[in-house]
Amino acid sequence: MKIQGNAIRPGNVIEHQGRLWRAVKTQHTQPGKGGAYLQVELKDIRDGTKLNERFRSSENVERVRLDQKPHQFLYHDGFAYTFMDNESYEQVTIDQDVIGEDQAKFLQDGMVVTIESYEESPIGVQLPDTVVLQITEADPVVKGQTASSSYKPALLENGSRIMVPPHIEAGTRVVVNTTDGSYVERAKD
């Protein structure tokens, strides 16, 4: 589907220079001289390289529609991740390079994710916005630090380090944002 260059939004997937790119950031710019343009930071879906490109409203780009299907995470065998289609029960194996190390650490057994595919080939995995994980180690609170909004380092059960408020202790279950790996809140369970 063709769209104008200034209609690109973050998250859109476009075909540019013969490759598939996901728009990460967009910024409208109106210089004092010349026409307005949209500065777009693009990330290659297959190899992760980045590109900054300018698009004017007079340019047309091809927006790509991806097939999105829910799948359940089954297991990781060291090189690839195996998921099961929730409707047909077919198993899909995806290379760990497609998922990325920053997302893979949040995968949990039985987690339902959305697999994006283009022309029957999986190109990405979307995790839920948040996951609940347990704190295995938390530094003790430094006396006098509780007056200000300070955070302390903690270790999650998946091996990730995050910053948590001082009242969080080891053994506490917390909600973590899967996009940037940040603390959201104490789990309600």
Is the confidence at residue 39, as pLDDT, over 60?
yes
The CATH number covering residue 143 comes to 2.40.50.140
22/72 same-domain check: no
3-state secondary structure of 114: strand
- Assign 149 a pLDDT band (cuts: 50, 70, 90): low
Report yes or no: 38 and 26 within 8 Å, Cβ to Cβ: yes
User: pTM here?
Assistant: 0.71
Q: What integer pLDDT is reported at residue 96 of this predicted model?
A: 78
- Assign 118 a pLDDT band (cuts: 50, 70, 90): confident
What mean pLDDT value characterizes the chain? 85
74/117 same-domain check: yes
Tens digit of pLDDT for each residue in 79-101?
888 999 988 989 988 887 777 77
150/181 same-domain check: yes
Report yes or no: 156 and 164 within 8 Å, Cβ to Cβ: no
Is the confidence at residue 72, as pLDDT, over 90?
yes
User: Order of strands, edge to edge, in the sheet holding 161-164?
Assistant: 161-164, 152-156, 130-138, 173-177, 183-186
Could you say which of 126, 142, 171 is where a domain stops?
Answer: 126
- Please give the structure tokens belonging to residue 164: 């948590």
Could you say which of 63, 98, 116 is where a domain stops?
Answer: 63
3-state secondary structure of 64: coil
Average pLDDT, stretch 16-41? 86
Could you say which of 96, 126, 156 is where a domain stops?
Answer: 126
Average pLDDT, stretch 71-75? 91
81/110 same-domain check: yes
Based on the structure, what is the number of domains in the chain?
A: 3
Q: How far, CA to CA in Å, does 127 sit from each of 1, 21, 28, 174?
A: 26, 19, 29, 17
Q: What integer pLDDT is reported at residue 83 of this predicted model?
A: 92
21/57 same-domain check: yes
57/73 same-domain check: no
Q: Please give the residue range of the domain that contains residue 83.
A: 67-126
In this structure, the dihedral spanned by the alpha carbons of residues 126, 110, 99 and 123, taken in order and rounded to 10 degrees, is: -60
